[in-house]
Amino acid sequence: MRCRCLLLTVVTDCQTNKSFLCPTMSLLASALVGLTGLSLNYFVPKFMSPGSGPSQFAVSSASGLASSCDATNIASCTNTTAIGNLCCFEAPGGLLLQTQFWDSNPATGPSDSWTIHGLWPDKCDLKFSENCDPSRAYKNIAGLLSENGAAKTLDFMKTYWVDINGKDETFWEHEWKTHGTCMSTLEPSCLPAGSAKGTEAVAFFDTVVKLFQTLPTYKWLANQGITPSSSATYTLDTLSTALQTESGFQPVLDCEGSTLDSVSWYFHLKGSVIDGTFVQIDTPEEGNCPSDGIKYPPKSDDGESEPNKKMPSRHARRRHHHK
């Protein structure tokens, strides 16, 4: 059977029988967005059936940028022969981690949501590269986004992608420079001819925000009866099982001492970071939380239970790999 892509339709991937967003729709919707300034956030469906993976999230660019990649492209890290065109195949960083923070002391972000740390292109063997192109270490990410049709993304970032020291702009610049510049599908040579400088970074932030919106860690834990508490402790297994039950996949949990402060959700990518499909997978590695006695404290600055400990600078933080 041949699957066809029609305008404004969701189609089924012949190989996996999972639905995905028709790339034609992405193109059309991007054009509409370009014309009207509307955000695509509400048009991007989420295809997720808890416990019955794999889940796939199709992203599309709010800034009107579109790749020319085929949505049936093979997922990163699943190829058996070398792929030549890395504009539509993320490599070598084909293992993508959407990392989130739970910053409770000092607190950042809404009290009922985790916040964005970033999107990291790890290699398939869990090694990784960073700072791949200093010539594209853009400054003024806020300006770049607002001038390129991504004001809505910027707005969201101001609430959900926040720095522990209030230096949001520096944090965004760091995440782009350190991780975004290592993404092969965001190389400027992959963009449509005549794209403005920095367009690929706009696509990066759009995509990270959209992917994060499909990963409501706080809500998933709350659905399983796990809400922040200054007295309760949990086993790693309880927390992991709760998230597995809700999302269908196993993330990595990381701790600062015995306090939960990070979660990473893992994906392979079909197509481009600009508008490809994120195929969720179970984590291939372990986190650093202890097996029990884990705290998930409320976000408050009252310092009642613990003295205000100095957190390491966010810009230096990178989860330890355990393999």
Positions marked catalytic: 117, 175, 179
Token pair 């999302």 is found at 247
Give least dist CB 284 to ligand NAG, A: 15
Residue 52 to residues 11, 124, 220, 281, Cα–Cα distance (Å):
19, 23, 16, 11
Q: Name the minimum Å distance from CB 85 to ligand NAG.
A: 9
Residue 21 is classified by DSSP as E
Give the binding-site size for ligand NAG (rule: CB under 6 A): 6
Q: How far is the CB of 91 from ligand NAG (least distance, A)?
A: 4
- Closest separation between CB of residue 84 and ligand NAG, Å? 7
33 secondary structure, DSSP code: H
Neighbour-count burial for 126-135, b at 16+ CB within 10 Å, e otherwise: eebeeebeee
Contact yes or no for 55/249 (Cβ under 8 A):
yes
Closer CB to ligand NAG, 174 or 268, in the complex: 268
Question: Which CB atom, from 271 or from 287, has the smaller least distance to ligand NAG?
Answer: 271
Q: Which is nearer to ligand NAG, 94 or 228 (CB)?
A: 94
State which residue, 36 or 81, has the beta carbon closest to ligand NAG: 81
CA distance 74 to 121: 17
Residue in 25, 156, 3, 144 with CA at minimum distance from that of residue 72: 3
91 near ligand NAG, rule: CB under 6 A = yes
SS3 117: strand
DSSP codes of every residue in 216-233: -HHHHHHHTT----SS--
User: What is the C-alpha separation between 118 and 172, in angstroms, rounded?
Assistant: 9
Residue (90 or 256) nearer to ligand NAG, CB? 90
CB of 237 to ligand NAG, least distance (A): 33
Binding mask 246-285 for ligand NAG (x = CB under 6 A): ----------------------------------------
Start-to-end Cα distance in the chain = 42
d(CA 224, CA 210): 24
Q: Smaller CB distance to ligand NAG: residue 82 or 193?
A: 82
Q: Which is nearer to ligand NAG, 28 or 83 (CB)?
A: 83
In sequence order, the 6+-apart residues with CB closer than 8 A to the CB of 105 are 259, 297, 301, 303, 306, 308, 309, 311
Please answer whether residues 255 and 240 qualify as being in contact, where contact means their C-beta atoms are separated by less than 8 angstroms: no
C-alpha count within 13 angstroms, C-beta hemisphere, residue 306: 20
Taking CB under 6 A as the rule, which mask of x and - marks residues 56-85 in contact with ligand NAG? -----------------------xxxxx--
Question: What minimum distance in Å lies between the beta carbon of 189 and ligand NAG?
Answer: 16
- Kindly state the smallest distance separating residue 122's Cβ from ligand NAG, in Å: 14
The verdict on 32 binding ligand NAG (CB under 6 A) reads: no
Contact letters for ligand NAG, residues 209-248 (x by CB under 6 A)? ----------------------------------------
Interface residues with ligand NAG (CB under 6 A)? Answer: 79-83, 91
